[in-house]
Structure 1
Amino acid sequence: MNLLSLNVRGMGVEGKSDWCRSLRKENEVNFFLIQESLCAGIEVSKIEKFWGKGNFGYEVVEPTGRSGGLFTAWDSNMFTMCSSIKNRNFLLIIGTLKVEFGLKGGNFSYAVGNKLRRIDRFLVCDNFVNKWPTSIYRILLRGKSDHSSILLKTFSCNYGPKPFRFFNSWMDREDFESVVLKVVKEFSYQGPPDIGLMLKFRCLRRALSAWRNECEAKEKEEKNIIKDDLVHLEKELEVRDLVEEELWALEEGKRRISHLETFRLRDLKQRARNLWAMEGDANSKFFHGLINRRRASNFIRGSI
């Protein structure tokens, strides 16, 4: 969405309406912010001279004496006003922004005789723009209908395989060192050293990924078995005193679950730090939304 702010120093001066209208058209402005209108009782016909033809909404703050005056107009296809707050020093417009992808392949989707209109369109939410900022919205050939088909194509950015993530908790697991040493000893390559190092890291990454998946499956199964045993022992404790072996099993089971949970919490803590480093604080969704909307409007979608 494009906004234009302009101090006109009087809307009644000859030639300024044509100048403002051409600025709006050349820059595809959706929001027009005018200061120093110096014009009371502005009518729709006056605003149309500055805005041009089309659907638009507007709000006005009257000048005080021979100074001031604010006038704001907007494209009704992109913004719907809910309310406004007026003051001689500012004009606050509150409403809903409609997100629409830029149209390619033509300007109109409906034709009857010599009349052309654009009445077919896609409206999407912010989440859609954030997920597919480089989507294409295009008018196809009219064919056998008086309405053109409209096409919305989404592109999922593929940055290749997910990067390998190493967790510090792995180094405290019993068989981690043996997995690494086994890969290093068994690896063999004859060729440039840099390629050899890359291939060795690839083998190590694959071995650690397989080992990690195996560990997660084993620990999940072990945790479920221990929990079932603890539930059984606690039920037995309600009806009788446990023998020494059962008390040991109860305490050892709790200790083991706590140990496994420590690994999980360490991994979550490391993930949280990485996520914050990549995405920033809680305001990141808002700013990423702005960036993606600008990216969608600036994206070059080819020549066809």
Structure 2
Amino acid sequence: MRSKLAEVAYRGLNGVFAVYKPPGMAALQVKTTVQLNLLKDLNSLKQRPLKTMVKILRDTGQTDETKALTVTEVPSLADHPLAIGPRYQDIGIRWLTPLDRMASGIMVMAVEDGTRKLGMLHAAQFPSVYEIKGRLGIATDTFDDTGKVIEKATHHHVTREKIDRVVAAMMRVHQSAMTRFSGVDMQSQEAYELAVRGLLRPSLDKLPPIILRMKCLHFENPDFTIEMECVKEEGAFLRKMAHEIGLEMKSAAVATQVRRISQGPFNLEHALLKKHWKLDYISEAIQICKPLVKKKKVLPYYKMKRTLPEEVFKELKETEAKLDIMKKRTTFLESGDNAS
């Protein structure tokens, strides 16, 4: 790979790949690190020749005045990297769905022309699968073990059977919301086929996170591990779910680890470790991931926006109106406090 031309390597950087984000690293830092590594590797490869310029020279070896000038092409020093800087100074990189600083796991990214596929991937609403590790007995203001402890509670009464029942109940509530906001008549054949294939998705963008599947993988008091498949999720929501489980157990709980193990067709096998965020590995990963982003792979997830029942729209508008009133009240109170 190091013997190839930089131009050839750059043309191969068009597509989608996945990286494994370690905890404690911001998504923007991941993007910047990948970007700088690619630029460094591209500039270390063999570059194209310098541009040429036409130059008229005086031939000092000729005495005849008619032959004293000659036209020749010479390399243009204005095109030299020492004059204009490295050949490659910027490269377009975007992510599909970022992870917050505390979370770890797979992050799908696109480079150069591959960023055009992100619109299709966003519309597909790929579900993400997370492993959430929690600990019973304490509650914090950030719902994780790094926050300020605000409560302590007993946890010896919690059993695996109780957690399984609570998790099943929470999943049923979210599945009911999914069927309600999917925009599909639940008595139709289409709804049955989508449900069997696991392709029911919310038909509106402005909806809260929804859990598709949830189960307890491990429990050894006070530690537990939950596997959760969801859409439209955020890091705060995932950590809060561990807190909610603690409350349902008549105890308290915090999330000690949040890890995304898959996103749609992408899983941990496709994710590059930090030591592999380099040109050679990323170019290879783009080729491996090409079949995963073909239309025939993405379209089964994608569903056109449907018309929701009128009463659902009415409920959403009422909720938005209440939120607007609360924001206005908060702004008014804050302005009064600042004035005093």
Return the TM-score normalized by structure 1: 0.30
Question: Quick check: which has more Rg, 1 or 2?
Answer: 1
**Which structure features the higher share of strand residues?**
2
Structure 2 length as normaliser, TM-score?
A: 0.28
